[in-house]
Amino acid sequence: MNHAVKPALLDRASTYLLALAVVVFAVGQYLAFKAPPDAQQGYLVRILYVHVGAAWVAYLAFFVAMLFAVLYLWKQHPAYDRLSAASAEIGLVFMLLTLFGGMMWARPTWGIFWTWEPRLTTSAILTAFYVGYFLLRHAIEDPEFRAKAAAAAAILGVVNIPINYMSVYWWRSIHQTATVDLINRKTHMDPEMLVAMLVNLLAINLFFVAFVRLKGRLAALEAAREERYEQ
Amino acid sequence: MSSEGLGVYITAVYVATYAVVFGYSAYLLWRLRRIGGEA
């Protein structure tokens, strides 16, 4: 008997990446709950173990969306547009998670869920920008024009990232400065807490890479289906 | 604030994080399976 061979939906690299992300995340969660309470924040510091990772991956995803947008404008290949959109979508999901985590941390720390201080305001602008990016994509029907307009938006969007990151230094307000200070290359954390945060950060990065691969593949299959319907 | 009071906020953040990483993984795999079935 002859069976038609269907292409594998999940390639080997994506499967391993996803499995590795789950394992590293499990280790990160164990370390996060094993780490001692902070001298000032107490157990509330546990929020930072995932909040910092989510924020970092949102930045990374928007940056990767910009790189694929540049590649699209250069090579004019639709795959780059799909990967740019995939990365932007994942960035937006993690940005929303960052905002939620921040609000849950702010309520017991500052007594309020939200305040229009510089870091929160620039985070809201960054989020709103990428909501606008997807509205733009949905508003344009012509695939080529949509890809070009979205690429321009994805390139423009990354301007918000350094402003958002530096906002805690440029306009000192109630939000604490970076937990891991990339500019002065120092951290304010106990080594045990730092390891817990970095392992969770690594896990969320692995999820991001796996998500971009899966979402890119999904978008390619959807585009192929649309082409079949149009014929 | 007491540790019990903080637990609500910590739990909310971890539940949201699990929902994103596992929920989004499941969503993508489900969509891939669905669209792959149509091919």
**pTM to 2 decimals?**
0.91
In angstroms, the separation between the Cα of residue B9 and the nearest Cα of chain A is: 5
Q: Provide the residue count of chain A.
A: 231
Q: Find tokens 């590293």 and name the residue.
A: A24
In angstroms, the separation between the Cα of residue B21 and the nearest Cα of chain A is: 7
pLDDT of residue A2: 44
C-alpha A94/C-alpha B9 separation (Å) is 18
pLDDT of residue A8: 59
Whether residue B13 and residue A93 make contact (CB cut-off 8 A), yes or no, is no
Helix, strand, or coil (residue B6):
helix
- Radius of gyration for the alpha carbons in chain B, expressed in angstroms and rounded: 17
Sorted by where each starts, the structural domains of chain A and their CATH numbers stand as 16-225 (1.20.120)
Nearest Cβ partner for A218 among B9, B13, B32:
B32
At A167-205, the pLDDT tens digits run 888 888 778 777 777 777 777 788 899 999 999 999 999
SS (H, E, C) chain A: CCCCCCCCCCCHHHHHHHHHHHHHHHHHHHHHHHCCCECCCEHHHHHHHHHHHHHHHHHHHHHHHHHHHHHHHHHCCHHHHHHHHHHHHHHHHHHHHHHHHHHHHHHHHHCCCCCCCHHHHHHHHHHHHHHHHHHHHHHCCCHHHHHHHHHHHHHHHCCHHHHHHHHHHHCCCCCCCCCEECCCCEECCCHHHHHHHHHHHHHHHHHHHHHHHHHHHHHHHHHHHHHHHHC
Q: Which residue of B has its CA nearest to A37?
A: B3
Q: Chain B interface residues facing chain A, Cβ-Cβ under 8 Å? A: 1, 3, 5-7, 9-10, 12-14, 16-17, 20-21, 24-25, 28-29, 31-33, 35-36, 38-39
In angstroms, the separation between the Cα of residue A8 and the nearest Cα of chain B is: 9
Closest CA to A148 of A212, A213, A78: A78
pLDDT of residue A21: 97
pLDDT of residue A176: 77
Quote the DSSP letter at residue B39: -
**A199 interfacial to chain B (CB closer than 8 Å):** no
In angstroms, the separation between the Cα of residue A46 and the nearest Cα of chain B is: 7
C-alpha B23/C-alpha B17 separation (Å) is 9
- Chains A, B: CB contacts within 8 A come to 84
C-alpha A179/C-alpha B3 separation (Å) is 22
Indicate the angle between helix axes A191-230 and A78-110, nearest 10 degrees. Answer: 140
pLDDT of residue B1: 56
Whether residue A42 and residue B3 make contact (CB cut-off 8 A), yes or no, is yes
At A94-114, the pLDDT tens digits run 999 999 999 999 999 999 999
Q: Which of residues 135-174 of A touch B (CB under 8 A)?
A: none
Whether residue B24 and residue A51 make contact (CB cut-off 8 A), yes or no, is no
Cβ neighbours around B19 below 10 Å, total:
12
C-alpha A208/C-alpha A61 separation (Å) is 8
Helix, strand, or coil (residue B31):
helix
Mutate to test the interface with B, among A9, A17, A110 (most CBs of B within 10 A): A9
The predicted complex's ipTM stands at: 0.90
Element (H, E) at B15: helix B3-38
Averaged pLDDT of chain B: 88
Find out whether A98 and A54 touch, Cβ atoms under 8 Å: yes
Cβ neighbours around A39 below 10 Å, total:
8
Whether residue A25 and residue B21 make contact (CB cut-off 8 A), yes or no, is yes
